[in-house]
């Protein structure tokens, strides 16, 4: 296992300098940091879903993408999404059609919070593309439309929305009595964020691996360290996955080391 880790580390250190540009990746202390810069790269990003669960690497190869990460939450039992996914302006995954979600009495009581979790959007605003992180039910600005998006949560920056998005529940004394997605435990995490640099938006991605697992507060602090304007989490834990060039990051050894089978992905297509 350690041998495999050092091979990956060597590849990343080599490639970090070699591929500076629209996709710039660095690795430090168990965390991959990817920055997507420039207006053109926005046109290459899509959020996609699979009819059946497949691994991140399978999605990467199937789409022939440059880069692939895991995205929204899903139910591994019925293989249906718990997150909204939009592709080419069309809603391709809608959690209200997930009967396991709708029939769960606890989830149903908190359904509005779940359905309004944060999502990462790529917007077309009068011919100009831009990134946005917002609750699902938030209004889209005038002259803007959502081209592609994926819901996850919770929002990390500017405000940590744990209770608002039903990731924790507290009793009357303020004690946490329910936790979802291991937000209070140290685990691998997939984080996406937006930063404005010299008037231009950048997309930042953090793949927090088993080498440096984080709870959600540490994930928030990581985003603040890099001065992100907005940030949110995607599905994490054993779902955390990354494929880029020869780099294949998985968070468990399911499928003989190929990683967990997943429902939705963010891909960066070839030009």
Distance (Å, rounded) from C-alpha 197 to C-alpha 125? 19
pLDDT digits 0-9 by tens, 12-33 = 444 444 345 799 999 999 999 9
Cis peptide bond N-terminal to 173, omega within 30: no
The number of C-alpha atoms within 13 Å of 217 and in the hemisphere containing its C-beta is: 3
Q: Give residue 252's pLDDT.
A: 77
pLDDT band at 6 (very low <50, low <70, confident <90, very high): very low
DSSP 61-107: HHHT-SEEEE-S-EETTTTEESS-EEETTEEEE-GGG-HHHHH-HHH
Is the pLDDT confidence value at 205 over 80? Answer: yes
Q: Which domain holds residue 197?
A: 2-265
pLDDT of residue 4: 41
pLDDT at 242 (0 to 100): 98
Question: For the residues 109-125, what does the mean pLDDT come to?
Answer: 98
Is 271 within a domain?
no
Contact yes or no for 81/48 (Cβ under 8 A) = no
- The arithmetic mean of pLDDT across residues 46-50, rounded, is 98
Whether residue 270 lies inside any domain: the answer is no
Determine, yes or no, domain membership for 63: yes
Report which of 158, 140, 159, 161 is spatially closest to residue 194, judged by C-alpha positions. 158
How confident is the model over 219-231, as pLDDT tens digits?
A: 999 999 999 999 9
The domain total for the chain is 1
Once rounded to an integer, what is the mean pLDDT over residues 112-116?
98
Report if residue 160 sits inside a domain: yes
127 found inside a domain:
yes
Task: Determine, yes or no, domain membership for 237.
Answer: yes
Residue 216 domain flag: yes
pLDDT at 70 over 60: yes
């Amino acid at each position: 296992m350690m041998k495999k880790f050092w091979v990956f580390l060597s590849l990343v250190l080599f490639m970090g300098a070699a591929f500076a540009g629209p996709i710039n990746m660095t690795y430090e202390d168990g965390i991959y940091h990817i920055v997507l810069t420039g207006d053109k790269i926005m046109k290459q990003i899509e959020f996609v879903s699979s009819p059946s669960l497949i691994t991140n690497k399978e999605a990467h190869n199937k789409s022939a993408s440059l880069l692939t990460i895991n995205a929204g939450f899903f139910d591994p039992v019925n293989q249906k999404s718990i997150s909204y996914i939009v592709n080419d302006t069309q809603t391709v995954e809608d959690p209200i059609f997930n009967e396991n979600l709708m029939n769960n009495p606890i989830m149903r009581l908190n359904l509005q919070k779940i359905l309004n979790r944060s999502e990462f959007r790529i917007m077309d605003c009068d011919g100009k593309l831009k990134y946005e992180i917002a609750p699902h039910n938030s209004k889209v600005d005038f002259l803007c439309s959502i081209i592609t998006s994926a819901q996850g949560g919770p929002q990390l920056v500017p405000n940590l929305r744990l209770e608002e998005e039903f990731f924790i529940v507290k009793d009357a004394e303020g004690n946490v009595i329910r936790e979802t997605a291991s937000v209070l435990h140290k685990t691998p995490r997939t984080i996406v964020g937006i930063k404005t640099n010299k008037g231009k938006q950048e997309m930042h991605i953090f793949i927090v691996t088993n080498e440096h697992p984080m709870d959600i507060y540490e994930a928030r602090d990581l985003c603040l360290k890099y001065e992100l304007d907005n940030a949110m989490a995607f599905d994490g834990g054993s779902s955390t996955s990354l494929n880029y060039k020869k780099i294949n990051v998985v968070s468990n050894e399911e499928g003989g080391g190929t990683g967990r089978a997943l429902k939705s992905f963010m891909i960066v297509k070839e030009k």
